[in-house]
A and B are shown apart, each in its own frame.
Chain A
Amino acid sequence: MSRRDAREAEFVAFAGATALRLRRTAFLMCGDWHLAEDLVQTALAKVYVAWLRGGAPDEPTAYARTVLLRSLLDHRRRRSSAERPTADLPDAAVDTPHDLRLSVVDALRTLKPADRAVLVLRYWEDLSVEQTALALGLSVPAVKSRHARALRRFEQAWGQPALA
């Protein structure tokens, strides 16, 4: 097996193990399963190129997540006119437990993309503040202040405390 074949096999194993989680992260960021899949496909393709060139990154999952987040945030910037944060949510979202899905996703979508990313990384990916800072290219204090602000806004939109 050539070095290229070996690296490709490593990548396929990695992608198979992480694609589902990456797609869920992307969905929480964008609220659209199809778009999430497209963005993950592109992110994994970029990871593949880097993998082929230099072998497995030191922390491939973190690397793939960073590439995905950059793609998501870049995508947001490119289509900045398509979506605006709003304080208005569907009336029925908060009160009915069976409809909790909509309220969580919709509440996330009221946030600015970077604020949303902080919450998704902290509460979906279970990253520490330091890991979140690394993933987003922010300082730890910046993540802390953004996290506090994002959580406050999220709770206002969601209509209940975010933390048990």
Chain B
Amino acid sequence: MDLHDALRHDLTRTEPPLGDLVGAALAEGRRRARRQRRTRALAGAGAAVALVTGLTAAAGTSGASAPQATYAQAPAPEPAGQPRDVPVHGPEPLVVTGDVPTDAELLEQVAAALQRAGLEGAALSVVDPDEAAMVQVDLVGASGPGMLRIAVGPGSQPPPAAERLPDGSWLEVGGLADNCVQHEYAVSTRPDGVAVYAGNARCLAWDGTANPPAAPPLTTAQLVALVQDRGLGG
């Protein structure tokens, strides 16, 4: 019996019943799809705007000190001839094969990443655990207290203006002058399609009416290093 036959002989003798594997996969797939719909478009300039819009809109309605995040769909233009919903970046389709963490997993990953970066003494909290995998970090740095938000999700499109790095990932660094929560942000979109976002705030909270000012907790280099930390979304 050669290898080809032995493999078949082996499997037919030992295989347990299949069970409802398809049903379980469907349930897990639906959960993933729900999460991805809510966290889509973390990458890309359009996505960044959507993120800001979502955060702002949601925070504006929450009126609470613990802000809520809601992601809008990326209003990225669709190239002619491309079917709707198919993510593209120039000629290269972006297929999301990487894992997107749950809120609890992201919380652990962020804690570990901060430790690796030497940023200790931070208070971490999940931002709206029912809506998105996003963590808020309250840091006390040399300039006083500061706030940072980190999110991981599927990148529907790599940022069109982003820099392509040697490891195949895309990096975009930007900022929004009229939004204190995203005073400065970095988005790393990895070759496996997972996007990591971190926003350096100039305020301590967004409650729709008052934005206590604060110094950005991280330098730009620290922000970039954080989104490139492979422990996030790994």
Partner-B contacts on A (CB < 8 A) = 8, 11-12, 15-16, 19-20, 23-24, 27-28, 33, 37, 40-42, 44-50, 52-55, 66-67, 70, 74, 100-101, 104-105, 119-120, 123-124, 126, 154, 158, 161-164
Contacts and interface: CB of A to CB of B under 8 A. Distances in A.
B6 A104 contact: yes
A28 B11 CA distance: 9
Contacts of B143: none
B85 A54 contact: yes
B163 to A, nearest CB: 24
Nearest to A66: B97
Contact of B29 (A28, A40, A45): A45
Nearest to A17: B22
Given A74-B99, A124-B8, 7 more contacts: A15-B25, A28-B7, A37-B19, A44-B22, A100-B6, A100-B10, A101-B9
Q: Would you call the interface of chain A mostly helix, strand, loop, or mixed?
A: helix
B11 A24 contact: yes
B47 to A, nearest CB: 15
Contacts of B24: 41
B3 A162 contact: yes
A33 B15 contact: yes
Contact of A33 (B16, B26, B30): B16
Given A104-B7, A105-B10, A123-B4, A15 B85 contact: no
Contacts of B8: 124
Interface in B18-44: 18-19, 21-22, 24-26, 28-33, 36
B33 A19 contact: no
Contacts of B25: 15, 19, 40-42, 44-45, 48
B97 A161 contact: no
B21 A70 contact: no
Point out which of B5, B16, B24, B25 has the most chain A C-beta atoms below 10 A from its C-beta: B25
A48 B16 contact: no
Contacts of B9: 100-101, 104
A162 B5 CA distance: 10
B80 interface: no
19 contacts: A8-B26, A15-B22, A19-B22, A23-B21, A28-B11, A37-B21, A44-B25, A45-B32, A46-B32, A46-B96, A48-B32, A52-B33, A101-B9, A101-B10, A104-B3, A104-B9, A105-B10, A158-B3, A163-B2
